[in-house]
Each structure stands twice: as C-alpha cells, then as structure tokens.
C-alpha cells in the first residue's frame, strides 16, 4: 500500500510510524498551500513547554493560491538562526543532539529557495535515521479530500495537524503509533512532538518506539 501525504516540516514521529507499514510514499505536489499546518511548522518541547517552530513563506497572506511545491521561503526573516538556536537550547544536552546536529545544520545552511525542497531534504535525512528505504513519488493530479484516493493509495493528507494549544494529533489512531519515551523536559510524556524530539532522545534506538 502506498501512503499519500503532504510534505511536512520535521513531522511528528507518528508520520514515520505510518511509513513503516507502507510500500511507498506519494507526496502531494499538486495541492494549493495551506497555512497553519505541519507543512511549515513543527512542535518541540522546551523548558517553557511546547513551542512551534514556523518557517515563514513569501507573501503568506496569498500563499493559499500557490501550489505547495512552488511556495518560496522568506529569508528576509532570520528564522534559520532562531530555529537552530531554539533547537540547541532545548536539546543541546539531550543524549543524541550532537549525533545529528551537523547533518541538520548542513541542510539549514543550504537555504533552498522553496519550502518543498527544504522539507524534502529533511525527510530524506529522517528516513535514513529510521533506515526507511521506501520509494518516493510525487502526485501528478490533485485528488480532493474525501474523494477516493488513487488505486493502491491510502490518503494520509493532514491526518496529523498542530492544534491550537495542544500538540496532540487530530487522529486518535496516531496516538498509539509512538510509545512513550523519556523526554528532555518533563514531567510526563508529551505526544505529537516533532520526530526530532524522539531522535535526540533515543538516537539509533528511536525506531523501537514506533508501532
């Protein structure tokens, strides 16, 4: 079964748990951009609680009329520095931050023009971290949500969504896909965080927490 999905920015770990059961990934490349989704943001846990890291896009007010694959990143804002400093502050003392830091930083420093390119580079890296070798394709036609997905595809577009004030994913089924693991900041386990939270905490053993 192929999974049809939007291309997110450092998505929740449940995204990769779903890929473990898939035969391939089809990334939605024909949709118009949607704001306030995981396409340009991720959720991490800091000493102050859950925080969203958002990649600014050019002309965000009109971005909904542009294909997601064509959305340009707004580098007039110093967001790369802010994201990286926030990740360093939140996870610098985690067991495996240094293990992945150079790979992540190298991608940030390339400053790709489009959000799709940035997210795809991070996706390839994160898939390698879980030893996922799924083939990746791109959609050639747009299928409206609620309509039958293309043959052989499971439509997983926007099944995970950053809710206001809560990092929990919209789909209750997603909650059972990631087993609780020790997080840097506590007490308690915070579900729905970016996969970076799991990787920095568990390193090469992260895949053992995906069901």
Spatial distance between the Cα atoms of 186 and 183, rounded to a whole number of angstroms: 7
Mean pLDDT of 110-134: 97
Question: What pLDDT was estimated at residue 155?
Answer: 94
> For residue 79, which phi and psi values (nearest 5 degrees)?
-75, -30
pLDDT at 182: 93
Token readout for 49 is 């609680």
Range name among 13-27, 35-49, 56-70, 93-107 with the lowest pLDDT average: 56-70
What mean pLDDT is predicted for residues 126-151? 92
CB-CB contact of 57 with 115 (8 Å): yes
Q: Which residue has the higher pLDDT, 174 or 178?
A: 178
Q: Report pLDDT digits (tens) over 101-119.
A: 999 999 999 999 999 999 9
* Widest Cα–Cα separation across the chain: 46
- Cβ atoms 195, 18 nearer than 8 A: no
Contacts of residue 193, defined as CB under 8 A and 6 or more positions apart, other chains included, come to 12, 13, 43, 44, 45, 50, 167, 183
The domain in which residue 113 lies consists of 2-209
Task: Calculate what percentage of the chain has a pLDDT beyond 90.
Answer: 78
Q: What's the pLDDT at 135?
A: 97
Q: How far is CA 9 from CA 122, 126, 130, in A?
A: 8, 11, 17
d(CA 180, CA 198): 10
Q: Provide mean pLDDT across the span 175-190.
A: 87
Q: 93 or 187: which carries more pLDDT confidence?
A: 93
pLDDT, one tens digit per residue, over 146-169 is 888 888 899 999 999 886 544 444
For 135, how many CA atoms within 13 A lie in the half-sphere containing its CB? 6
Total domains present in the chain? 1
Which pLDDT belongs to residue 147? Answer: 85
């Amino acid at each position: 079964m192929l999974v049809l999905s939007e291309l997110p920015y450092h998505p929740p770990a449940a995204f990769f748990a779903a890929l473990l059961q898939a035969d391939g990934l089809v990334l939605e490349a024909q949709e118009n951009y949607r704001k306030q989704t995981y396409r340009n943001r991720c959720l991490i846990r800091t000493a102050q609680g859950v925080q969203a890291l958002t990649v600014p896009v050019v002309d965000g007010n009109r971005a909904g009329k542009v294909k997601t694959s064509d959305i340009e990143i707004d580098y007039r804002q110093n967001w790369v520095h802010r994201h990286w400093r926030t990740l360093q502050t939140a996870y610098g003392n985690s067991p495996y931050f240094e293990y992945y830091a150079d790979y992540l930083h190298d991608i940030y420093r390339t400053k790709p023009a489009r959000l799709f390119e940035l997210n795809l580079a991070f996706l390839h890296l994160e898939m390698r971290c879980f030893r996922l070798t799924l083939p990746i394709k791109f959609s050639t036609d747009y299928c409206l949500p609620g309509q039958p997905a293309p043959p052989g595809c499971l439509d997983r577009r926007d099944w995970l969504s950053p809710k206001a004030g809560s990092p929990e994913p919209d789909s209750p089924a997603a909650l059972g896909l990631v087993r609780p693991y020790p997080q840097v900041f506590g007490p308690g386990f915070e579900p729905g965080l970016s996969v970076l939270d799991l990787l920095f905490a568990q390193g090469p053993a992260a895949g053992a927490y995906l069901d």
